[in-house]
Amino acid sequence: MSKYDVIVVGSGPAGYVAAIRAAQLGLKTACIEKETNKLGKTGFGGTCLNVGCIPSKALLDSSHKYVETKKDLAVHGIATGDVSIDVAQMIARKDKIVGQLTGGIEGLFKANGVTAMKGTGKVLAGKQVEVTKDDGSVEVLTADNVIIAAGSLPIDIPSAPVDQDVIVDSTGALEFLTVPKRLGVIGAGVIGLELGSVWRRLGSEVVMLEALDTFLPMVDQQIAKEAHKIFSKKQGIDIRLGARVTGTKVKKGQVTVTYTDKDGEKQEVFDKLIVAVGRRPQSQNLLAADSGVTMDERGFVFVNDYCETEVPGIYAVGDIVRGPMLAHKGSEEGIMVAERIVGKKVAMNYDCIPSVIYTHPEIAAVGQTEEQLKANGVEYKVGVFPFAASGRAMAANDTDGMVKMIAHAETDRVLGCHIIGPSAADLVQQIVIAMEFGSSAEDIGLTVFGHPTLSEAVHEAALAIDGYAIHMVNKKKR
């Protein structure tokens, strides 16, 4: 029986990062991965690198370049003539990027001395891990510490069973080799919006069916309303709220979707249908009954603020535990756990985790929304600055959206920042850093920002909180 200091179950962003950091700290470490990717190799990197964050961003960037070339270069005086898209080449490029990154993890494992294992891991009693290999053979490993990082899976719904042909999940939506004429998307959340945006840009007529009556309820609603306006009116995505899918029927390569809304039952016919209603923890058959590790009714492993389970020496990180299912959240949890194993007194700041929707314009946020602050009875003040007033955004012909900053009414401490606009994902990171150090809006307002940059919109939003924005007319404070 092989013995390790640390065994990591799962090699997604939480698992592989935990394994690398543990090995860097001098711990004998093994990382187990059960998946084989479409390239026939071990799926190091988990969902994110293989069928999630990275491939979807590759397609988002390709499709954005296509639509920009086709529609938006003329304003710069650039004539292109007829523009076409080779979808197969676009998919091949995406696959090449995935191959490079997953191969890169394998190289990092070797460089850091992590033992990579192909097989399905199951946590047993006594901090033992059973590894079932592809040939059916079983090996039992033992460790001083076990880190569970099994990740998540797309949620299935009975009314739209996935066949990965006509009805697909988020994985299948990355593999279309032709542009669907009519594309349906069940769910108008992060995944649905990103995937719907890809195929809308390439020419699909996209209809999103969202069961909730509120668009992007987790997003600050001023930002969400602006996003709805941009995606529906400017980009032509048909977003139908309060539309609950009740059934689907596939016939002759098309799918008829039945749904209900406030007006009753309706039907739509699509060439492809993407089911994007969220993700669930991949916890089935993960734990032996006597492992001592417990889960809730939804399959999330119980942990405390330090990702410790009820069994000393067994931890869980990433999508398998509470909190947002975000790759960067999982990675930082993995680092925290590895460092706590060697005695470092580190902790995660869960109040400063950024979130991003990689549409164009991007939507990014950190901290609390205005709605959350109202519900909690917190007195606050708001500053908003539109990209339409940004010289850099105007020069780039990319002026949709705004920066919204929220600070405490008395202390001026920054409580949240919400952005829809160009490079929102990178801009919000400035405020993540500021909030991590407890900055006030005045601190940001007193900071020198380069000109002309998109970052100036963040600066101006901070100034606008107290009515001191320079490059727009300030609203009078009551």
Cβ–Cβ < 8 Å for 22, 8 = yes
Structure tokens, 467: 């009515």
Cβ–Cβ < 8 Å for 11, 31 = yes
Report CA-CA distances (Å) from 273 to 60, 123, 183, 208, 334.
18, 37, 6, 10, 35
Report CA-CA distances (Å) from 217 to 123, 224, 228, 302.
36, 8, 12, 26
Task: Identify residue 359 by its one-letter amino acid code.
Answer: T
Structure tokens, 27: 């711990």
> At a CB cut-off of 8 Å and minimum separation 6, what does 205 contact?
181, 182, 183, 238
Q: Which of 114, 292, 47, 273 is nearest to 182 (CA)?
A: 273
Structure tokens, 468: 């001191």
Measured between alpha carbons, how far is 87 from 98 in angstroms, rounded to an integer?
17
Q: Which of 76, 451, 459, 471 is catalytic?
A: 451
Environment class of residue 11 by beta-carbon count within 10 Å: exposed (0-12), middle (13-18) or buried (19+)?
buried
451 is catalytic: yes
Report CA-CA distances (Å) from 470 to 390, 401, 423, 461, 474.
11, 18, 22, 10, 8
Tell me which residue has tokens 């007194």.
345
- The catalytic site residues sit at 451
